[in-house]
Structure 1
Amino acid sequence: MRVKFSEDVVPLADLKVNPGRVVQHAAEAHRPVLLTSRGRGVTVMQSVADYEQAAEERAFMRAVVAGLADLDTGREVSLAEAKARFGVA
């Protein structure tokens, strides 16, 4: 998800004047909008759907990294043992 500085950087004053336009842009572009005050970034606005998707992707990646770390340290079980633990035939 790359920010397009020509489109996704919005002064707080623009948000105050037309909040609907800024919210609509964030939702339609599927990119976060950087809100600025006096030329400095102060916050990022993102649609709820995009935030939830990004959070799910981060959680998945953390689980993958944890699984790889388990393999590196020898903490693994066979498929048969995993099935037995979870009662799967």
Structure 2
Amino acid sequence: MTIKFSEDVVPLTDLKINPGKIVRHVAKAHRPTLLTSRGRGVAVVQSIEDFEAAEDERAFMRAVVAGLSDLEAGQEVSLKDVKARLGL
């Protein structure tokens, strides 16, 4: 998810004047938009759909890292034991 500075950096005053335009742009572009005040970044606007997808991806990656960490620590469980615990 890269920012196109020509499209995705918006002064805060533009959001105040026409918030619908910014929201539509964010939803259509599937990229976050950086809001600025006096030339400095102050906030990021992102569609809820993209936010939820990013959160799901972060949760998945955390689970993968935790699983790899468990493997390195020798904390694996055999498939047979898992099936037995689950009653399968």
Task: Report if TM-score (shorter chain) is over 0.5.
Answer: yes
Output the aligned Cα RMSD. 0.5
Asked whether 1:65 is paired with 2:58, we answer no
Give percent identity, aligned residues only: 69
Q: Any gaps of 5 or more consecutive residues in structure 2?
A: none
TM-score (norm 2): 0.98
Which whole-Å CA distance do the structure 2 matches of 1:83 and 1:40 have between them?
Answer: 55
Q: Which amino acid aligns with 1:35?
A: L
Which whole-Å CA distance do the structure 1 matches of 2:60 and 2:45 have between them?
Answer: 23
Secondary structure of the 2:42 match is strand
Secondary structure of the 1:10 match is strand
Which whole-Å CA distance do the structure 1 matches of 2:6 and 2:73 have between them?
Answer: 47
Asked whether 1:85 is paired with 2:85, we answer yes
User: Size of the alignment, in residue pairs?
Assistant: 88
Q: Any gaps of 5 or more consecutive residues in structure 1?
A: none
Which whole-Å CA distance do the structure 2 matches of 1:87 and 1:58 have between them?
Answer: 31
Match in the other structure for 2:25: 25
Which whole-Å CA distance do the structure 1 matches of 2:65 and 2:8 have between them?
Answer: 31
Which whole-Å CA distance do the structure 2 matches of 1:5 and 1:11 have between them?
Answer: 12
